[in-house]
Amino acid sequence: MTARLPLRIGSSDARGDDVTHWQHWARDYAESYANLMGPVDGYYGNSDAEFTREMQRRLVASGHAIPITGVFDEATAAAVGYAGITAAPRRKIWIYTAPGSGADWWVGPAFELGEWCKKVLKLNHQPIGYAKGGYLGLMGGPPDLSYLDVTASIGAELARLLRANPDVIEAMAARRIDPNARVDVELWFSGYSQSADGIEDALEELFGDGGEFELIRDRINGVLQFGNPSKDKTGIARKTRAAWLRALIRNITTKGDFYAEVADEIRPLFYEWFIRAETELPFVVYSAQIILPALLNLVAPFVGGLASPLAGPVLAGITGASASVLGTVISGVLGAKDQPNPKLIELLSVRGVLTNIPQLVVLLAALPGLQAHGEYHLPKPEFGNRTGIQVACDMVAAFRR
Note the pLDDT of residue 1.
Answer: 47
- Give the integer Cα–Cα distance in Å for 367 and 365: 5
Nearest Cα neighbor of 199 from 159, 166, 165, 244 is 159
Note the pLDDT of residue 357.
Answer: 75
Neighbouring CB atoms inside 10 A of 206's CB total 17
Model confidence at 325, pLDDT cuts 50, 70, 90, reads confident
Exposure on the CB side of residue 293, measured as CA atoms within 13 A: 13
Note the pLDDT of residue 3.
Answer: 66
Note the pLDDT of residue 157.
Answer: 97
Arithmetic mean of pLDDT, 17-29: 94
Q: Which CATH number fits domain 93-261: 3.40.50.10150, 3.40.50.1820, 3.20.20.70, 3.30.70.20?
A: 3.40.50.1820
pTM: 0.72
Report pLDDT digits (tens) over 285-315: 888 888 888 888 888 888 888 889 888 888 8
Share the mean pLDDT of the chain.
Answer: 90
Backbone angles phi, psi at 130, to 5 degrees: -155, 170
Nearest Cα neighbor of 392 from 233, 253, 290, 277 is 253
Neighbouring CB atoms inside 10 A of 145's CB total 18
CA-atom Rg of the chain in angstroms: 29
DSSP string, 64-92: ------S-B-HHHHHHHT---BPPPPPP-
List the domain boundaries for the chain: 13-80, 93-261, 280-365
Report pLDDT digits (tens) over 193-230: 999 999 999 999 999 999 999 999 999 999 999 999 99
